[in-house]
Structure 1
């Protein structure tokens, strides 16, 4: 059998949001399980403590965020995840709100209760298998001077083959 002549970059958008809760460690694990070569994720820099967090939206999205009592948010909370990394830990982002229209395109997404908004550092170093995968990182804070490379301790992700 001849060797493959072309390489395909299989990207997991927001990790594997069609299969697991978007931009969570569970989604990154699922994406690696199915063999993606690049993990696409969104990064915001928190304004209070300058931590890079993995979040698509500058506000908690009520289609994915539940409070500590398990109740779905009734409206967006603009400052929570990007004001303070610790504030984002108070919300469970491990499933889609079944009553929200955002759920419709993702009928196969498996809930993973207990997922929190991860920091970029926790994503980069959580899974040994991810160290050899690429990442497409999108910076989501408009108007902030902070950069993700200012907030993540430099560590090698993999050794050369």
Structure 2
């Protein structure tokens, strides 16, 4: 199965991380209203088996702040720094997720991300309700399943996590308008089995080029050919960190029959280089910058989306 993508696409990374708080309803809304081809966000499972948006498997001090315990005397409070899988949704929902808390003075988003105080960590169901309220049927949902095979103490069972995500997408009639993404290529195999019609993005970076991440595959068995390995793992698109993409990578991807979606690209100059190489998608924290580049090049722009009815979230 090969993915058909017509014209280069703009993928909003964690919504629009450079502009609004990441993995939040305000951030996803902002990306929709700017106009993106795909809305990317991260999902993990809570202690009470709910799916929430979070990039980190432990509650991040950068994107989350404690406000109060979920109930008086909660022995787990404070929650920042604890594994997401050990906290219930009610505990995670007390966190302030709308104000970035830079850990370093040179935080790259401190000057551009607009805070949205009183923002809570959303569930996948809330995101699907939001997208439905916007009538954003033409925007593909890129659901990255957060799973670290080197940290089973922090990660959920990959089959259970994939089953739950597929079931939630199916409940909202979204299996055909979504893609499942993961660095843990076990999830690609499971997703191909559970929802063969749903696109699968094989994420890769230098740090995950080991068999433990690649569902037991060894890159040396493919002559170091990442796209060939991604195709064997069940990927329908290969999605590398942009520094891995050059002419040779693109040639190999073409031979494997896989489009390339490069992440995370925030500088228009680098995005232009990647477009010239023929990538199918650019994953960016700044959809506004990419839209300007697309306009300069006369490329088809994804339409901004406006809410058609109140969100049931």
Aligned runs of 1:93-108 on 2, under 5 Å?
Answer: 93-98=97-102, 100-101=103-104, 104-106=107-109, 107-108=111-112
Alpha-carbon distance, 1:149 to partner: 4.2
What is the RMSD of the two structures over their aligned residues, measured on CA atoms? 2.8
Alpha-carbon distance, 1:75 to partner: 9.0
Q: Which residue of 1 aligns with 2:203?
A: none
Structure 2 runs not aligned, ≥5 long = 1-5, 69-77, 148-154, 178-313
Matched, 1:154 2:171: yes
Alpha-carbon distance, 1:7 to partner: 2.2
Q: Which residue of 2 aligns with 1:89?
A: 93
Question: Cα deviation per residue 1:44-75 (whole Å; 9 max; x = unaligned)?
Answer: 011x2111111100111111212216xxxx99
Cα distance in structure 2, aligned partners of 1:102 and 1:55:
23
Question: What is the TM-score with the length of structure 2 in the denominator?
Answer: 0.43
Q: Which residue of 2 aligns with 1:63?
A: 62
| Larger RCO: 1 or 2 (CA < 8 Å, sep 6+) | 1
Q: Which residue of 1 aligns with 2:34?
A: 34
Question: Cα deviation per residue 1:78-100 (whole Å; 9 max; x = unaligned)?
Answer: 235763122110101101115x2
Question: What is the TM-score with the length of structure 1 in the denominator?
Answer: 0.79
Cα distance in structure 2, aligned partners of 1:29 and 1:38:
12
Secondary structure class of the residue paired with 2:56: coil
Cα distance in structure 2, aligned partners of 1:149 and 1:86:
22
Q: Which residue of 2 aligns with 1:136?
A: 142
- The structure where helix makes up a greater share of residues is 2
Matched, 1:50 2:32: no
Alpha-carbon distance, 1:76 to partner: 4.5
Secondary structure class of the residue paired with 2:60: coil
Secondary structure class of the residue paired with 1:66: coil
> Rg bigger for which structure?
2
Cα distance in structure 1, aligned partners of 2:62 and 2:122:
18
Cα distance in structure 2, aligned partners of 1:44 and 1:64:
15
Cα distance in structure 2, aligned partners of 1:140 and 1:9:
23
Cα distance in structure 2, aligned partners of 1:26 and 1:148:
25
Paired residue total: 149
Structure 1 runs not aligned, ≥5 long = 1-5
Which residue of 121, 125, 138 maps to 2:129?
125
Cα distance in structure 2, aligned partners of 1:91 and 1:66:
5
